[in-house]
Amino acid sequence: MIQEFLRRAAAGQSVYITDVREAFQAKGTRPFHLHVTLYDRSVRAFNLRLPETAGEDEERFVAEYVYANVYNLLSSLGGIRVDIYLNQTDGAALALAESLSSVFQLDRPKTARTGYGKCLNVNERILAAFFSCRERFSFGIRDIGEEPAEQPAKSSAGHPVFAQLPSRTEGRMVLGMDIGGTDVKLAVSVDGRLALCKEFDWFPASCSLAEQITGPLLLLTRLLRAAGSLFRAGRVREIDWAALGKHASTEEMERGTREMELAARGALRNFDAIGLCFPDVVIQNRIVGGETHKTFGLRANPDLDYEAQFAKVTALNSDLAAYVIEGGPVMNTNDGPMAAFAAAVEQAAGGGDMSKGFFAHTLGTELGTGWVRPDGAIPEIPLEVYNFIIDLGSWDQRKFGPDDVRSVNNVNTGLPGTLQRFAGQSGVFRLAAKRLPEQAPELWKALFEKGMLQWQGERLAVPTRPVDMRKACLEYFMGQAAAGQPVCEEIFREVGEYLAVTWRETEYILRPETEERTLFGRFVKLPACFRLMCEGAARREPQLRQYAADSDLANTTLMKQLDAHPDYTVAQFAQAVGAIYYGCLGLKN
């Protein structure tokens, strides 16, 4: 059994963790039960079984499988502690359990952690947010004879509020902000109407100071406040539409903001509410993750203390509070939950059954994940599904550095096989680099001629300077796939296969009430690409039902206006509109 997995891995093929788990659970005889104490102090059990091993290669593979399971649990659920229940006469299993503290670098400071230890950095920041440093994460080892029964899950309280939110925009000015890895999208609602949209391209990973991340976001907020105030006052002709254009420079936006603020005078008013999503772990309205690629430049700056810099990013909500009325809410969450929240509001407005909640993925720079419970609550957990290790194989692609498009190694952690390099734009680039040289050499050559790929020494990259080509490169592949180019079609089918593995892993770990998935982002912008991903997913999971966040999602007034907009699409701006409703969640009726 293990030898077959090793053969496939050595041949450069994927070895999905879900397949390994299915095989081990069926034939394994050695208990290795993981009990995770969650932030609410409930306990979830994951009763792994391990097979007998023969030789170092098999032992190493089983260890990697165990580490990946623990890593996926901590990346999504987080926790206060993990207890391992095993047969303490099983020396190999006991040694494996004892290795967890060192492998996950429990006793190292945050700045010294690498690889598996990175998830503990996020977890520790969450523990600090919840418990003010009164709790410290730990591993425990227990004999299987002491294993307690799994506690029943705590039921969530409250009732869905999705259907109530659209009416809360009436008589108010609300800002929605969707912050991504390559662009920021903003939408303003004035008295229940979609008044303004704005798109701004940026590259936060290149920022070496916190102010370079927060500064543009605050400028965009000021810009939209000034334009929204003029719109609300019926003075649309005085709006600087050039400053609101997609390609407006920072200088043009600053000038337009100043001029509109002066023109508005007494009509200038703050927003009644701001809703936003940020591409990192957000707990209790605070950005607490700090291990994503978006803050890579801050982490790499040797002249500054990263924790102090990241604290300024964490304070974004406080900075934005200056642009809402006294007592007005600033509601922040991760971009994945925002996608789910937006879809839930639209489903409710269309009369949909929300009794099983909503689960969504955003497909763009990376894979985002959103989960909204049936009562409308967003679980306060890391939910970093993009960090899931899904592939224990593809060994030939581990040799490349994380900054090489051919690599399966995570940019933030260096760990191989994570979804970051499979289901986002990096997955498309990696598959293209793997397939095109032999299967479509002319297309491969054209990518270099167009400047979408370039050799930087021995490293293959999609350039980000002087022009960021990532979005253009992805859209080029999407266009080729939609036009029927066979290799590009298969690339998107393979991405769909990764989504099917993701579905199986999220079902196993998170156990959401709903089994359906809704997809947002650039990957579903073209119906042909969505269809190809569904075809690929069906090769592994025929029962999986996926839906595209397209015009069929438009049920509320704001989303219908977005759907009818000549310049913007629901696939692009749905989360910004959803952020408007999320901001309204903090308003009273």
519 beta partners: 361, 548
Query: Helix, strand, coil proportions of the chain in percent (round to 5)?
Result: 50, 15, 35
The residue among 333, 385, 375, 327 whose CA lies nearest residue 354 is 375
Q: Identify which of 525, 523, 533 has the alpha carbon closest to the alpha carbon of residue 571.
A: 525
CB 12 within 8 A of CB 433: no
Which helix (H) or strand (E) covers residue 186, if one does? strand 183-190
Closest by CA to 474, choosing from 182, 177, 179, 178, is 182
DSSP character string of 47-115: EEEE----SHHHHHHHHHHHHHHHHHHHHHT--SEEEEEE-TT-HHHHHHHHHHHHHTTTTS-GGG--G
Q: How far apart, in whole angstroms, are the C-alpha atoms of residue 468 and residue 2?
A: 43
Decide: helix, strand or coil at residue 411. coil
Closest CA to 370 of 378, 360, 379, 362: 360
Contact 117, 3 (CB under 8 A): no
Spans of the chain, pLDDT less than 50: 157
**What is d(CA 10, CA 14) in angstroms, rounded to the nearest whole number?**
10
| Distance, CA of 294 to CA of 204 (rounded, Å) | 5
Which residue stretches of 327-415 are H helix? 335-349
Q: What is the pTM of this model?
A: 0.83
Taking phi first (over 0 means left), then psi (-120 to 50 degrees means alpha), and beta for anything else, what does residue 542 get? alpha
- Exposed / middle / buried, residue 139 (Cβ in 10 Å: 0-12, 13-18, 19+): middle
**What DSSP element (H or E) covers 31?**
strand 30-37
Report whether 28 contacts 51 (CB < 8 A). yes
For 135-153, the pLDDT digits (tens) are 899 999 999 999 998 777 6
- The secondary structure of 129-170 as a DSSP string is HHHTT----EEEEEEGGGPPPPPPPPPPPS---GGGGGGGGT
Instruction: Write out the two tokens for 203.
Output: 């590259």
Q: What is the pLDDT of residue 156?
A: 55
List, for residues 269-310, the tens digit of each pLDDT value: 999 999 999 988 898 888 988 888 889 999 999 999 998 999
